[in-house]
A and B are shown apart, each in its own frame.
Chain A
């Protein structure tokens, strides 16, 4: 249990998808203008990353590895991720059309989110068991959502702050992002060994 906890803390905070691995930066800058949008995007991404990582693990271990098709890994994972997004979209629409109308807007954007593919490829390198890889993917996506919401909160405050004209908009956003990355570097002092 302790091993799982340390692995999840490491994936979420120490090796944060956005601030340490620099994945998912498009959505990090694009969908963080409001906290509610960032939270919606974060939860949708967490769901898709975890579900697609389960499918990717199965595809890797029962199809690609046994038949020596490792060279097809990237394209296969992209297909799996796109299928997972479509599955999620169809399921949410079926479960509740109202929820789909509120939340479905975030799903297409996830298909092109490199964090989803990046985590799937990291799982293959890690050679983990099914539940370990699923928990790793879940923790990584929770770290992604956490940073999205924190950054959205900061940008909401920046929107009403007196920022010098030269820095207004994206420039101050990038400066704040770099400060946030430096703050997260503090987590690298945590011993997970």
Chain B
């Protein structure tokens, strides 16, 4: 069961980054949501046709980013809601997911070269550092998750016509 939020959604308001998601399933106070926005270019779900979606179909990508909210009642399938996470969460998450493995890889590769290793040894050191960094990133992500920092919060119901750019679509 996954929890999360597509951050490339609407905008920011104060300390919260907001996004619009659509309810796709409800059961016993748990709702399953699909983020509306599908690209990081600041556009809406319609921009999924823009060719920047890369490998994999749009449907499979959206399905992979499906997430749940617990303890929510009174939502119907198809309803659009605004959700959010702390503004610092995205940066913290990116630093853990990308920064940590990269730093450990560069340090390990550099250390091997500093101790007289050649190109092949440096490459092996960088690869080992990358693997260690990914393990550390896993631990870091679990810590963030245990503290509830990665879990999205329900903010409000989306206004009719409210789009992922935060403006009326009309």
Contact = CB atoms under 8 A, between A and B. Distances in A.
Contact of A46 (B39, B90, B96, B98): B98
A172 B130 CA distance: 41
A99 B40 CA distance: 15
Interface string A119-133: 000000000011100
B91 A36 contact: yes
A66 interface: no
Given A99-B141, A101-B65, A108-B55, A44 B94 contact: yes
Contacts of B5: 101-102
A38 to B, nearest CB: 10
B77 interface: no
B81 interface: no
Contact of A36 (B7, B37, B130, B145): B7
Grouping DSSP codes into helix (H, G, I), strand (E, B) and loop, the A interface class, with mixed when no group exceeds half, is helix
Nearest to B17: A36
Chain B interface, >50% SS class: helix
B55 A86 contact: yes
Contacts of B7: 36-37, 40, 102-103, 105
Contacts of B25: none
A41 interface: yes
Contacts of A30: 40-42
Interface stretch (A68-76, A88-96, A174-182, A184-192): A88-96
B94 A96 contact: no
A61 B122 CA distance: 14
Nearest to B121: A130
A134 B40 contact: no
B95 interface: yes
27 contacts: A31-B41, A34-B42, A39-B94, A40-B91, A47-B101, A51-B102, A51-B105, A93-B64, A97-B4, A98-B3, A98-B93, A98-B141, A99-B141, A100-B4, A100-B64, A101-B65, A102-B4, A105-B37, A105-B39, A105-B40, A106-B8, A109-B54, A112-B51, A129-B119, A130-B119, A130-B126, A131-B122
Interface of A: 30-31, 33-34, 36-37, 39-41, 43-44, 46-47, 50-51, 54, 57-58, 61, 82, 85-86, 91-93, 95-109, 111-112, 129-131, 134-135, 138
Interface of B: 2-8, 11-12, 17, 37-42, 51-56, 61, 64-65, 67, 85, 87, 89-91, 93-99, 101-102, 105-106, 109-110, 113, 119, 122-123, 126-127, 130, 134, 137-138, 141-142, 144-145, 150-151
